[in-house]
Structure 1
Amino acid sequence: IYFMQNSTGGVLGVQDCWLLLRGLKTLAVRMNVGTESAQRVAEFLEADERVAAVFYPGLSSHPDYALQQVQAEAAGAVLSFDLGSEEAARQFVNHVQLPVFSVSLGAVESILSYPARMSHAAIPEAERLKLGITPGLLRFSVGLEDVDDIIQDFQQALAYTVERSAR
């Protein structure tokens, strides 16, 4: 192992080590807040008739809810939801204000992404659909913002989306 590390440089640099140590110091707080907020956001989205589906293992409606309850203490800070169409997803993304729109997970800020055109765009459409990556699917990594602010932001974006999509 030492030979491989020495010859290929398979070790972290000083800056990377410092960033890793810095992040570990707040990991528990970030996970606890993100997970609690994700549960509330998922419950809000599931109760909203404008949302076609919500995918979050902390919801009792999720097919793997029972398994998640046995294997983990919490369901995590990432969820997905389907707005039913690409146009509805586009309108939502255009009108939501708090999350950063990016392909990333696990930051202090909330991050919203559109898998069909971002992280999974290289997968052929038929395969994406088989995997459940529909044109209306959005992925949301919950950060440290106040969860009531996130829900209010989602509420206003959904309202605008429905108004615009109905035309």
Structure 2
Amino acid sequence: MNKKAFNTQCIHGDEKKYDTTGAVSMPIYQSATFAHPSVGESTGFDYSRLQNPTREHLENTIAQLEAGHKALAFSTGMAAVTTLMTLFEPGDHIIASDDLYGGSHRLFHHISMRYGIRFSFTSMADPKEVEALIEKDTKGIFIESPTNPMMQVTDLRQMALLGKSHSLLVMVDNTFLTPYYQRPLALGADVVIHSGTKYLGGHNDTLAGLLVVKDVDLHEKLSFYAKTIGACLSPFDSWLIIRGIKTLPIRMDYQQKSALFLAKWLKEQRQIKHVYYIGLEDHPGYNISISQASGFGGMISFEVTSESLARQILEKVKVIQYAESLGGVETLITYPMLQTHGDIPKPEREAKGINERLLRLSIGLESVEDLLKDLEQAMEDG
């Protein structure tokens, strides 16, 4: 049978059948435990912390979409990253993007380092700079591309080649672009991370995290750590992510179209100092983006002329909602210095450009004309 198109895979997911009723929607197997047919026998499911049919369907679906071997679903994106860090031991060294989601920064600095894992943070723009940081104890490279919130783009093929030449585990957070626009495993990465809360779920109604790998042994290790730590995704939340994935391509195409329109409009406004959107041709990572991804996504960061204007926009938006998170059908605006990156020390945060004038937009599915009018009125007289 020929491989199905991406849109078809999103809708139908994994072909394994669990139900005999003909239910079109994957059933929610809301069971903590499963009965054994007899002593020493199993249906393949014993206890939902270990595996559950609804979660397995989601895992197999996202593994197929990412062109991976297997996937694991977790209760949050940070639960996924935390489990990933259990692969490393005290003394191990990891090179990571210097513009990271605040939750990853908090985990690495306040927990992973306490257990003896060392980190070097750097821009991933130049592979030579990354290579210069490799030590005898370096075990991995942790990448966000595009980064949150400054939208830096990494050449994933170059990083994968660098990782392979030094036997390093290359881990890529693909939350912003999803497998619809970017497939890091196909570009040579070893692990893909998702906050399923965002675009995969797409409705701002659940939390989830996912790890996708292409190596059998690596999956076995992570599976053991996942069942031991126990931060598994519940059956109902698994179903919500399955539901969200069904409309992923349609949502992302619409969001991207609106994002490009608004990014171009923002660039023309006198109150805007800088617009960070990877779909703009003057973005430093534009050419890399078009070489490794099929789209630019719906995330925009922009710097306004003053802190007072930033706060005015946050207080005056009506259609756009001032809230943390991203990737849902509702357009959200975030103040990174107070929200996603509030735990990062001010000097370090401001050195990255995350200052009191920076705002981040996650474009939803509203009329782009309504979003533009909302921004216009919020910026008026500012």
TM over 0.5: yes
User: Does 2:264 align with 1:38?
Assistant: no
Q: 1:12 aligns with which of 228, 233, 242?
A: 233
TM-score under structure 2 length normalisation: 0.40
**Aligned counterpart, 1:159:** 380
User: Does 2:278 align with 1:57?
Assistant: yes
* 8 Å contact kept, 1:84–1:135: no
**Aligned counterpart, 1:114:** 335
How many matched pairs?
161
One-letter amino acid of the structure 1 residue matched with residue 321 of structure 2: V
Q: Which has the higher contact order (CA 8 A, sep 6+)?
A: 1
Q: Which structure: greater strand fraction?
A: 2
Higher alpha-carbon Rg:
2
**Aligned counterpart, 2:352:** 131
Distance 2:333 2:366 in 1: 13
Distance 1:127-1:30 versus aligned 2 partners, 3 A rule:
same
TM-score under structure 1 length normalisation: 0.89
Q: Tell me the CA shift for residue 86 of structure 1.
A: 1.5
Which ranges in structure 1 are unaligned for 5 or more consecutive residues? 163-167
User: Does 2:294 align with 1:73?
Assistant: yes
Q: Which structure: greater helix fraction?
A: 1
Q: Tell me the CA shift for residue 158 of structure 1.
A: 1.3
Distance 1:6-1:159 versus aligned 2 partners, 3 A rule:
closer
Q: Tell me the CA shift for residue 34 of structure 1.
A: 0.7
CA displacement, residues 126-150 of structure 1 (integer Å, 9 cap, x when unaligned): 1111111011000000000001110
Distance 2:274 2:329 in 1: 26
Over the aligned positions, Cα root-mean-square deviation in angstroms equals 1.6
One-letter amino acid of the structure 2 residue matched with residue 55 of structure 1: Y
One-letter amino acid of the structure 2 residue matched with residue 60 of structure 1: E
CA displacement, residues 38-76 of structure 1 (integer Å, 9 cap, x when unaligned): 101101101111111100011112111111121212111
**Aligned counterpart, 1:93:** 314
Moved over 4 A (4+): 1-8
Distance 1:103 1:26 in 2: 22
What SS does structure 1 have at the residue aligned with 2:361?
strand
Distance 1:124 1:3 in 2: 35
Distance 1:54 1:40 in 2: 12
* 8 Å contact kept, 2:266–2:275: yes
Distance 1:4 1:120 in 2: 28
Distance 2:225 2:314 in 1: 45
User: Does 2:244 align with 1:27?
Assistant: no
